[in-house]
């Protein structure tokens, strides 16, 4: 069990800075997701923790020990790669035993036992004699997972391990990862570009943008209270609309460009010009009633629900709505939202 | 016309050339080797295998070819690994330097070595100057000279064979090995080396067969005293004019190479399966 401490990690390739001083404390046993779009530096950060990339400046310590200058083999970490990186010349069992053999953990008999146990954990004991290329993608992925946990590393690093799996298998693996983490309590750093994955798996989400930490917090914090425009756009892909805060009958309202008003939660101070972040799943659509009115531009059928693109005050708003009522292009509709679900961002 | 006959027509000229230029001479060689003054005989083979001199020539050929192959592999594998890791400009230069010896004629190249290795040549002179060799020391007309000359020629074959395989190894595997506790050298030994084995085997095959049958380099650098099978065959043909005996030696060389090919091909098959 260990703490991982990243202290002002900077990384640049020549004149191009990829990470701008990232500091992060990871508690022992914590499951942290590094979330961000491609090119935000999340994989670079993971590779720096692994020791596969050198930092330009900054310090990394694992369990109180400064490992900044140590090569990967001396760091007591395990990493699972996006492409799994199973050794093609070894069978499944030898692949899983490999870290024990190289780190000289235990006797030969103990190694066999540990490798068998790790394989059993991912329910692949019966495939021990196969070569990696004889396995399906999902099976290879589980072998890679078994290999990563077999030596009980201080830190488990996962580099988008689920991105090569099909949707169904990915859901199964998410559940398996959660259970495995609960059982083993390994300090885990998980890189992903998939917000659902980050929200469902981790104790804490670190949202990266262009080499900066945009926001970090528990999944519900990140989801419910995105701090910045980037965060609210990236998580849940909210609609962003410019508005002005005005007061009507002693209550704060957000006034859109066409003078329509949206009720806000009491206590929102009049801040003048703001930007509203409205999540598409938070809004309701009706044919009439109170709310802001707009016109349906497009309907996208998604199976369980529909996504409507609604034109309001010169902007477009995406709304996810159940199939109860169907609106056609050009239909006038009324949008409403719980005032507590409206997020205000400073413009 | 069906595809099948079309294919046969297309492959025909090549097969015909192979039959005329390769199979026919080999068949002639085989028949000549068992021809005596009075019909069929194995006398030529008995003469060869019963004569310590010729057995020595055979043993030297095998020994030197193995040594040359091993040295080529020892230099070629690290060299190929380095070439696969450097940037594209550097890689181009290294490959150019590597195959440069193949672009000069074998005679010119070998004369170059004769100049360097002879008694008054650069290398013995330097060794004498450093006190590492006695006066009158020369490398020319030694087995060492043959090995040096042959390694230079065969190194590109080995290196390029290994490079073709090593360049296709996913670099992520090496990174993964590092995160699993391998030092750099352990990574090379436990991951890169086993995965480049097919290239090393193919390169060894080339190096061994080419050095076992090479003639010009051993002849010029080894001199008349140090004979290998190819020079011995040449002598039988040109000096003693004993064509049947030369054929018998050629058959033995041919058989020897086929025999070494078999385990190699087996190994390759295992590597794939």
Same domain, A201 and A214: yes
- CB atoms A102 and B180 under 8 Å: yes
Same domain, A110 and A159: yes
What is the pLDDT averaged over residues A24-53?
93
Q: Please give the distance of CA A193 from its chain centroid, rounded to a whole number.
A: 6
Per-residue model confidence (pLDDT) at position A1 = 47
What is the pLDDT averaged over residues A23-30?
92
- Domain spans, chain B: 41-272
Nearest to B179 among A78, A88, A89 (CB): A78
Q: Do the Cβ atoms of B252 and B259 come closer than 8 Å?
A: no
- Domain final residue pick, A216, A233, A250: A233
- CB atoms B179 and A88 under 8 Å: no
Q: Do the Cβ atoms of A285 and A327 come closer than 8 Å?
A: yes
Residue A275's pLDDT band, with cuts at 50, 70 and 90, is confident
Q: Please give the distance of CA A278 from its chain centroid, rounded to a whole number.
A: 20
A316 forms beta bridges with: A311
Three-state DSSP state, A53:
coil
Name A318's Cβ contacts closer than 8 Å, sequence gap at least 6: A237, A239, A280, A307, A308, A309, A310
Same domain, A221 and A340: no
Average pLDDT, chain A: 88
- CB atoms B177 and A87 under 8 Å: yes
Same domain, A155 and A71: yes
Alpha carbon of B185: minimum distance to chain A alpha carbons (Å): 12
Q: Please give the distance of CA B57 from its chain centroid, rounded to a whole number.
A: 17
Closest Cα in chain B to A102: B181
Nearest to B180 among A52, A88, A99 (CB): A99
Same domain, A188 and A308: no
Chain A hits for B173, Cβ within 8 Å: 85, 87-88
- CB atoms B178 and A52 under 8 Å: yes
- CB atoms B180 and A71 under 8 Å: no
Helix/strand/coil percent split, chain A, to 5: 30, 35, 35
Residue A2's pLDDT band, with cuts at 50, 70 and 90, is low
> CB of B172 within 8 Å of any CB in chain A?
yes
Residue with tokens 């054929």: B247
**CB pairs under 8 A, 24+ apart, for A263-266?**
A263/A339, A264/A339, A264/A342, A264/A344, A265/A339, A265/A340, A265/A342, A266/A339
Per-residue model confidence (pLDDT) at position A268 = 66
Strands A261-263 and A251-255: antiparallel
Same domain, A176 and A246: no
Alpha carbon of B75: minimum distance to chain A alpha carbons (Å): 24
CB pairs under 8 A between A and B: 59
Same domain, A180 and A255: no
Name A206's Cβ contacts closer than 8 Å, sequence gap at least 6: A24, A32, A33, A34, A35, A213, A216
Closest Cα in chain B to A82: B172
Note the pLDDT tens digit of each residue in A66-124.
999 999 999 999 999 999 999 999 999 999 999 999 999 999 999 999 999 999 988 89
Nearest to A52 among B175, B183, B184 (CB): B175
Alpha carbon of B93: minimum distance to chain A alpha carbons (Å): 25
Best of B181, B192, B197 to substitute, by most chain A Cβ atoms within 10 angstroms, is B181
Same domain, A282 and A181: no
Alpha carbon of A153: minimum distance to chain B alpha carbons (Å): 10
Task: Check the CA dihedral B115-B120-B122-B127 and report its sign.
Answer: positive
Alpha carbon of B187: minimum distance to chain A alpha carbons (Å): 10
> CB of B273 within 8 Å of any CB in chain A?
no
Candidates A253, A229, A249, A224; CA nearest to A239 is A229
- Domain final residue pick, A233, A261, A296: A233
Q: What is the C-alpha to C-alpha distance for residues A23 and A6, in angstroms, rounded to an integer?
A: 5
Same domain, A179 and A310: no
Q: Which domain holds residue A68?
A: 4-233
R_g (Cα) of chain B, nearest Å: 23
Nearest-5° angle of CA A94, CA A97, CA A101? Answer: 110
- The CATH number for A296's domain is 2.40.50.140
Same domain, A108 and A190: yes
Per-residue model confidence (pLDDT) at position B121 = 85
Alpha carbon of A217: minimum distance to chain B alpha carbons (Å): 29
> CB of A147 within 8 Å of any CB in chain B?
yes
Chain B hits for A98, Cβ within 8 Å: 177, 180, 190
Where residue A84 falls (left for φ over 0; alpha for ψ -120 to 50; beta otherwise) is left
Alpha carbon separation from A268 to A113, A228, A232 (Å, rounded): 61, 17, 18
ipTM of the complex: 0.80
Name A76's Cβ contacts closer than 8 Å, sequence gap at least 6: A62, A153, A154, A155
Q: φ, ψ for residue B130 (rounded to 5)?
A: -80, -5
- CB atoms B180 and A52 under 8 Å: no
- The CATH number for A135's domain is 3.40.50.300
Same domain, A330 and A184: no
- CB atoms A83 and B186 under 8 Å: no
The residue with greater pLDDT, B36 or A324, is B36
What is the pLDDT averaged over residues A43-49?
95
- CB atoms B179 and A87 under 8 Å: no
Chain A hits for B273, Cβ within 8 Å: none
- Domain final residue pick, A204, A233, A262: A233
Q: Give chain B's residues under pLDDT 50.
A: 272-273
> CB of B183 within 8 Å of any CB in chain A?
yes
Q: What is the C-alpha to C-alpha distance for residues A79 and A147, in angstroms, rounded to an integer?
A: 9
Q: Has domain B41-272 been given CATH number 3.40.50.300?
A: no
Q: φ, ψ for residue B271 (rounded to 5)?
A: -60, -35
> CB of B34 within 8 Å of any CB in chain A?
no
The residue with greater pLDDT, A37 or B71, is B71
Alpha carbon of B87: minimum distance to chain A alpha carbons (Å): 16
Same domain, A249 and A152: no
- CB atoms A72 and B179 under 8 Å: yes
Question: Strands across the sheet with A187-192, in order?
Answer: A77-80, A155-159, A187-192, A31-35, A204-209, A212-217
Note the pLDDT tens digit of each residue in A180-203.
899 988 999 999 998 888 888 899
- Say whether pLDDT at A270 is over 70: no
Domain count, chain A: 2
């Amino acid at each position: 069990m260990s703490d991982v401490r990243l202290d002002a990690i900077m990384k640049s390739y020549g004149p191009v800075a990829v990470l701008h001083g990232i500091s992060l404390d990871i508690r022992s046993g914590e499951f942290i997701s590094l979330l961000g779009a491609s090119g935000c530096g999340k994989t670079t950060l993971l590779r720096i923790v692994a020791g596969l990339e050198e930092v330009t400046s900054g310090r990394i310590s694992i369990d109180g020990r400064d490992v900044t200058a140590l090569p990967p083999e001396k760091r007591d970490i395990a990493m699972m790669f996006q492409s799994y990186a199973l050794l093609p010349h070894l069978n499944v069992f030898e692949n899983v035993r490999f870290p024990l053999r190289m780190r000289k953990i235990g006797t030969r008999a103990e190694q066999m036992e540990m490798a068998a146990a790790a394989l059993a954990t991912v329910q692949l004991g019966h495939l021990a004699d196969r070569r990696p290329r004889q396995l399906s993608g999902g099976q290879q992925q589980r072998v890679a997972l078994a290999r990563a946990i077999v030596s009980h590393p201080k830190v488990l690093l996962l580099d988008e391990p689920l991105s090569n799996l099909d949707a169904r298998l990915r859901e199964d693996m998410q559940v398996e990862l959660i259970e495995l983490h609960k059982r083993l309590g390994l300090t885990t750093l998980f890189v992903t570009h998939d917000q659902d994955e980050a929200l469902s798996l981790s104790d804490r989400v670190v949202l990266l943008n262009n080499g900066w930490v945009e926001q970090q917090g528990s999944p519900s914090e990140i989801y419910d209270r995105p701090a910045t425009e980037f965060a609210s756009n990236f998580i849940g892909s909210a609609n962003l609309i410019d508005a002005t805060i005005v007061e009507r009958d002693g209550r704060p309202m957000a006034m859109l460009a066409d003078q329509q008003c949206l009720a806000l939660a009491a206590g929102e101070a009049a801040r003048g010009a703001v930007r509203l972040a409205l999540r598409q799943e938070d809004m309701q659509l009706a044919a009439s009633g109170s709310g802001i009115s707009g016109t349906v531009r497009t309907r996208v059928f998604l199976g369980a629900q529909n996504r409507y693109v609604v034109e309001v005050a010169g902007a477009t708003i995406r709304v996810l709505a159940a199939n109860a009522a169907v609106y056609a292009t050009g239909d006038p509709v009324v949008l409403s939202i719980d005032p507590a679900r409206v997020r205000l961002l400073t413009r | 016309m069906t595809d099948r006959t079309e294919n046969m027509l297309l492959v025909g000229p090549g097969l015909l050339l192979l039959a005329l230029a390769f199979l026919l001479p080999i068949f002639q060689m085989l028949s000549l080797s068992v021809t005596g003054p009075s019909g069929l005989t194995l006398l030529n083979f008995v003469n060869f295998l019963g004569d310590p001199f010729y057995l020595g020539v055979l043993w030297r050929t095998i020994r030197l070819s193995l040594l040359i192959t091993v040295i080529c592999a020892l230099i070629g594998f690290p060299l190929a690994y380095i070439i696969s890791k450097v940037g594209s400009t550097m890689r181009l230069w290294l490959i150019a330097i590597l195959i440069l010896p193949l672009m000069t004629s074998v005679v010119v190249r070998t004369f170059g070595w004769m100049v360097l290795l002879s008694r008054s040549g650069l290398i013995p002179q330097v060794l004498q100057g450093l006190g590492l060799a006695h006066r009158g020391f020369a490398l020319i007309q030694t087995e060492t000279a043959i090995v040096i000359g042959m390694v230079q020629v065969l190194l590109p074959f080995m290196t390029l064979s290994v490079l073709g395989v090593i360049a296709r190894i996913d670099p992520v595997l090496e990174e993964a090995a590092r995160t699993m506790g391998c030092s750099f050298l352990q990574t090379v030994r436990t991951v890169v080396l086993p995965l480049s084995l097919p290239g090393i085997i193919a390169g060894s095959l080339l190096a061994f067969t080419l050095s076992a049958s090479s003639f010009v380099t051993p002849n010029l650098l080894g001199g008349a005293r140090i004979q290998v099978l190819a020079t011995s065959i040449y002598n039988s043909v040109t000096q003693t004019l004993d064509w049947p005996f030369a054929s018998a030696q050629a058959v033995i060389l041919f058989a020897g190479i086929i025999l070494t090919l078999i385990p190699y091909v087996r190994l390759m098959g295992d590597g794939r399966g």
